[in-house]
């Protein structure tokens, strides 16, 4: 393996958590998942946290979690929340060359089809989720594309995506 620190970024529903799990199993490198760790640390779902404390507070805590993982571990497979790249501090950590960051890209239709029956994402609990996905994706593309590698995930299974990544890490 060429890289010890690998992070997956991308939109909600792009498969980051599932692919990270498979990669961790395959490589025997520890798995970290910011969404999972957030809910474990605060003992509250992200959806409820957004409702109670708002997105800004969530972003602060998410940033602290990322920093803690990135600076205190020599090896990891990291799955991140879709909005992690919104913060400049987080981008400095993810794109400074120390971590090999992979963007799992998916188009609006793919994302919509993957998440349409899952109501755990506060940002998509709106009247027209598809339109919202399109808007969020357009706002974030410039940041996601800062990743060292982009993997197109449309029409691919988790195993196929994992297999593709296996050959580049
Ligand atoms: C978010 C994505 C979610 C979670 C939160 C906000 C986002 O994670 O962190 O609901 O801003 O895109 P997933 O990308 O794992 O769904």
Q: In this predicted model, what pLDDT tens digit does every residue of 119-156 receive, in sequence order?
A: 899 999 999 999 999 999 999 999 999 999 999 999 99
Contacts of residue 163, Cβ cutoff 8 Å, sequence gap at least 6: none
- Burial of 118 (C-beta count, 10 Å sphere; 0-12/13-18/19+): exposed
Q: What is the pTM of this model?
A: 0.97
Q: Return phi, psi of residue 39, to 5°.
A: -65, -35
pLDDT of 107: 98
Look over the chain and give the mean of its residue pLDDT values, rounded to a whole number.
Answer: 97
| pLDDT grade for 1, boundaries at 50, 70 and 90 | confident
pLDDT in tens, 88-111: 999 999 999 999 999 999 999 999
The proportion of the chain whose per-residue pLDDT surpasses 90, expressed as a percent, equals 99
Give the residue among 111, 110, 109, 92 at the shortest CA–CA distance from 101: 92
Which residue has a Cα nearest atom 1 of ligand 1? Answer: 82
Residue of minimum CA distance from atom 10 in ligand 1 = 121
Ligand 1 atom nearest to CA at 86: 11
Name beta bridge partners: 8.
79, 102
In this prediction, residue 150 carries a pLDDT of 98
- Which residue's C-alpha comes closest to atom 8 of ligand 1? 81
| Rounded distance between C-alpha atoms, residue 87 and residue 92, angstroms | 9
- The closest-lying atom of ligand 1 relative to the alpha carbon of residue 16 is 15
Task: Identify whether the C-beta of residue 112 lies closer than 8 Å to the C-beta of residue 129.
Answer: yes
The pLDDT of residue 5: 98
Residue 8: the pLDDT is 98
CB 129 within 8 Å of CB 35: no
Average pLDDT of the segment spanning 17-36: 98
């Amino acid at each position: 393996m060429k890289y010890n620190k690998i992070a997956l970024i991308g939109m909600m529903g792009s498969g980051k958590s599932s692919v990270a799990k498979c990669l961790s199993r395959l490589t025997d490198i520890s798995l970290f998942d910011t969404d999972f760790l957030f809910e474990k640390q605060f003992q509250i779902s992200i959806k409820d946290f957004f409702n109670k404390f708002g997105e800004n507070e969530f972003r602060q805590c998410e940033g602290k979690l990322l920093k803690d993982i990135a600076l205190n571990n020599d090896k990891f497979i990291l799955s991140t929340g879709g909005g992690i790249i919104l913060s400049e501090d987080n981008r400095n950590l993810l794109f400074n060359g120390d971590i090999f960051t992979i963007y799992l890209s998916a188009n609006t239709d793919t994302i919509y089809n993957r998440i349409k029956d899952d109501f755990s994402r506060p940002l998509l609990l709106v009247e027209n989720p598809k339109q919202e996905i399109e808007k969020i994706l357009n706002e974030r593309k410039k940041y996601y594309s800062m990743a060292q590698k982009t993997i197109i995930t449309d029409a691919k299974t988790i195993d196929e995506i994992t297999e593709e990544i296996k050959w580049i890490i």
